[in-house]
Amino acid sequence: MKFYKSYAKVNIFLKVTSKRGDYHEIVSRFVIVDGLYDVLSFEQHNDEKFIIDGNFSCDVESNTIFKAYLSLRQYTKSKELENLLKTHKVVVEKNIPAFAGLGGGSSNAATFLKMCNEVLHLGLSLSELAKIGLEVGADVPFFVYNYKSANVSGIGEIVEEFDEESLKYITYTPKIEISTPCVYKRYSKSFYNPIDASTSEKLKNMKTIDLLDNYDSTYLNDLFAPALYEYSNLKEHIRDDYFFSGSGSSFFKLVNP
């Protein structure tokens, strides 16, 4: 049995650039957290139902892995894919906290897509898998490409590798389940202040270590203030030298090289 690592990410910065209908367009630096990952595998079973074996708080139909399966099935029309998931369950060893801004669900979905592509020899390119993954969630394409560091823009569909030294991070996740849609709604209502193109380009071209040396979470992350507004108990968990990831509730710190 082959095991696949499904890594967490943190957002070094996350800035809103505009709105596209109901969606916020962003520019963000995503980086992989090497020391934090779930482990996925296929395991034979005799039940023809789609089964995900793991410590999840949601039902199967709401799980990003199942949504990725539906999207992949729609795209490929593969009978072999259907048969695989009738004879095998997806086993997930969960280590990435949920509702935490670390991308666990998106990472699981991307890893599942790549697992199916490899096991079934579907021959799909990474760009095809990213397109399929975008149907599941905005962060999925980043995890499909497997870059250590990337600038992500649009609603998540534009992923550009950022060539820089790999850095080590530690994360801290308070026991606060945050709703990303709720935070974005508050941002749009009370904090909406998109950055201009020149600021966007400046941030995209700065190295991660320089961003963290020169700015704090209040500037780097447009979702920090609305998250604090909606979840006031977050204030109790702010620590020196830690930065806020995504819509939270996780904080991360750079471990000095």
The DSSP call for residue 135 is T
Count of residues for the chain? 257
Which pairs from 214-220 meet CB under 8 Å and 24+ separation?
215/13, 216/243, 217/242, 217/243, 217/244, 220/12, 220/13, 220/14, 220/15
Q: What is the CATH number of the domain that holds 208?
A: 3.30.230.10
Supply the angle between the helices 126-134 and 104-119 in degrees, to the nearest 10. 140
HEC assignment per residue over 154-223: ECCCEEEECCCCCCEEEEECCCCCCCHHHHHHHHHHHHCCCCCHHHHHHHHHCCHHHHHHHCCHHHHECC
Q: What is the arithmetic mean of pLDDT over 167-184? A: 94
pLDDT-derived band at 1 (thresholds 50, 70, 90) equals confident
Greatest CA separation found in the chain? 57
Q: How many domains does the chain have?
A: 1
* Res 55: pLDDT: 84
pLDDT above 70: percentage of residues in the chain: 99
CB 184 within 8 A of CB 223: yes
pLDDT above 90: percentage of residues in the chain: 88
d(CA 39, CA 32) in angstroms, rounded, equals 15
Show the tokens assigned to 161: 């590798």
Catalytic center residues: 9, 139
Q: How buried is residue 25: exposed, middle or buried, by Cβ count under 10 Å (0-12/13-18/19+)? A: middle
Find the domain containing 210 and state its range: 4-255
Q: What is the arithmetic mean of pLDDT over 93-109? A: 94
d(CA 231, CA 247) in angstroms, rounded, equals 11
* Res 257: pLDDT: 58
Q: What's the pLDDT tens digit per position in 32-75? A: 999 999 999 999 998 888 999 998 878 888 899 999 999 999 99
Nearest-10 Cα torsion for 150, 151, 154, 155: 50
d(CA 235, CA 251) in angstroms, rounded, equals 12
d(CA 146, CA 150) in angstroms, rounded, equals 9
pTM comes to: 0.94
pLDDT-derived band at 250 (thresholds 50, 70, 90) equals very high
Q: What is the arithmetic mean of pLDDT over 70-88? A: 96
Q: What is the arithmetic mean of pLDDT over 91-105? A: 93
Flag whether pLDDT at 91 surpasses 80: yes
Of 189, 178, 193, nearest to 232 by C-alpha is 178
154: region left, alpha or beta (phi > 0 left; psi from -120 to 50 alpha): left
* Res 4: pLDDT: 97
d(CA 200, CA 216) in angstroms, rounded, equals 17
